[in-house]
Amino acid sequence: SRASPMAHKPLADELTVCEYCTLTGESRRVERIFALFDEDEDGLLDIDELQKALVWLGFKVNQDAAKEVVLYLDTDFGSADSHTCVIDLELFEHMLKQMRLAELFTPSGGMFQWQSPGVDTCPISVCDYNVEVCRVSEPGQDFYFRRRPSLQGRSHSVRWVHLEAAQGLDRLNLLRLAVKYNLHPLSIKDVLDNRTATKVDRYGSNYVVSVD
């Protein structure tokens, strides 16, 4: 079915789990959306198919705007045809993530409304480390849009992201993280519920650990 997934603009601090499902880019859901609009089933979306998919997802874009977005974001991938703007699943998923994140930094500019408190009620800190280097930072907005930087040394690096919620949970920053990392909506539900028993869940390639 191609019925639009959301008919109104909810407040960011009142989002239901169903609305989180609409806004986040969990990988298997993105694959289903891609297949839904890949009308000729060639594994690619042309500009007409892409524009229809974006409108269905709540983005107010025409074909020219969709083409501009593709050409801008394709600098990281190089997988789009510069003349026809035909894109594959990987670039489509990257596009949705970047566009949704842009909405989440633009009050009332997307599918839902929110008001900026001026300062983050739940600041984020990031620790990137390996056996040779440890780097701790309190990143700004660019953290959400950029890839993880490489660290010195040859060993595999790990990133730990901490969302401080001692003064109450900031749903907007939580949703930004959910979009950036393709978190499954059910894992977000557990965070919001705050009554989840100790358990370990697996969603795709992600493990979610809840400790009471």
Give the model's pLDDT for residue 193.
76
**In this model, does residue 40 exceed pLDDT 80?**
yes
Distance separating alpha carbons of residues 158 and 150, to the nearest angstrom: 10
The pTM assigned to this predicted structure is 0.74
**Long-range contacts, 25-29 (Cβ 8 Å, 24+):** 25/93, 25/96, 25/97, 25/100, 25/179, 25/182, 26/182, 26/183, 26/184, 26/185, 26/203, 26/204, 27/93, 27/182, 27/204, 28/204
pLDDT tens track for 178-193 = 888 888 878 887 887 7
Distance separating alpha carbons of residues 100 and 27, to the nearest angstrom: 14
